[in-house]
Amino acid sequence: MKRFIAALALALAACASAPIDTTAKRIAAAHETIDALANTAYTLRLQGALTADQKNKVADRLREAETALDSIASIQDPTAANNQLALVIAALTAIQAELAAHGK
């Protein structure tokens, strides 16, 4: 589990550090990160490290992040799009940290 969480952290770092002119790639990486976080939450639930309620709350937050990512694609101003993307990445980073704490 620790290796998976470390790999997830690398995915988030790639998501956050890509150049501004690759917003679409950063959005795609964020979608992949959401999938990985959902799988991590599911695995932690199976292992008993998360309660059903905790897993459901993570799932709700991930759905919100998906919705936000979908709306970013329609933003015409690149700076505004990148600012919104930074907020989503910050939320995903927080979720990843919470899951990592449960995975210890």
Write the Ramachandran bin of 75: left for phi over 0, alpha for psi from -120 to 50, otherwise beta. Answer: beta
On the question of pLDDT at 67 being above 70, the answer is yes
Alpha helical stretches, state H, 1-22: 2-17
On the question of pLDDT at 17 being above 90, the answer is no
> pTM of the prediction?
0.79
Q: Give the chain's domain count.
A: 1
On the question of pLDDT at 2 being above 80, the answer is no
pLDDT (tens digit per residue) in 20-32: 457 888 888 899 9
Distance in angstroms (rounded) separating the CA atoms of residues 2 and 23: 29
Supply 27's token pair.
């959005």
State which H helix or E strand residue 94 sits in. helix 78-102
At 20 the pLDDT is: 45
Distance in angstroms (rounded) separating the CA atoms of residues 61 and 67: 10
| Host domain of residue 85 | 2-102
Supply 96's token pair.
């990843």
